[in-house]
Amino acid sequence: MSRSSFETNKVIAAVLVTLLLGHLAGLLSDALIHPVMPEKHAYAPVDVAAVSTSGGGGESASAEAAIEPIAPLLSLASVERGQAIAKKCTACHSLVKDGPNMVGPRMWGVVGGHQRHIADYAYSKAFQGLTGEWSYEELNKFLVKPAKYAPGTKMSFAGIKSAQERADLILYLRTLGDSPPPLP
């Protein structure tokens, strides 16, 4: 082998080794830094309906969303519509003055009354901690989903999703008392 071809071979060998090392390095880095695609988007798509704070009726609001205040809706509420909605309650509640306790306590005087307003009714454990007042807003929060307001309550009633229907109902309940609180 001539000296020059030996030199040429060395150069070719060097090039081959470089290429080979480069290839190996590529394989190695592929194996080491295998790109793992995240399963979730870094930015979760925003649920516009749930975030919306504007009105638009309780129907669209999820149970998790903030409960719409009832005060502004009371002025648009109808006692007649409320009376119709209250038929859902009469399976368990008497709505007349001095009515009997049934599955649930009688309703007379509940609006503006204290929570657990009937002395001779056996409330559940879930209700024992309630010491506030059935203001318009508390009734609103309770009636949207009783089981959420008082977990473990024996009032087995799913709740009333529509804020306007709750306003109608509460305005009607207000007529069932001797001294209802003034409207907000």
Nearest distance from C-beta of residue 137 to ligand HEC, angstroms: 13
Report in angstroms how near the CB of residue 139 gets to ligand HEC at its nearest: 6
Residues that bind ligand HEC (CB under 6 A): 88-89, 91-93, 103-105, 110, 115-118, 123-124, 126-127, 134, 143, 153-157, 169
The torsion region of residue 144 among left (phi > 0), alpha (psi -120 to 50) and beta comes to alpha
Q: What are phi and psi of 106, to 5 degrees?
A: -65, 150
The residue among 117 and 174 lying less far from ligand HEC, judged by its C-beta, is 117
- The least CB distance from residue 52 to ligand HEC, in Å, is 26
Our CB check for ligand HEC shows the closer of 24 and 158 to be: 158
Structure tokens at 65: 């969303």
CB nearer to ligand HEC: give 105 or 112.
105
3-state secondary structure of 170: helix
Distance separating alpha carbons of residues 18 and 130, to the nearest angstrom = 79
Closest contact distance (angstroms) between CB of 103 and ligand HEC is 5
- Token pair 């060097």: residue: 14
Q: Which of 153, 152, 150, 154 is nearest to 141 (CA)?
A: 150
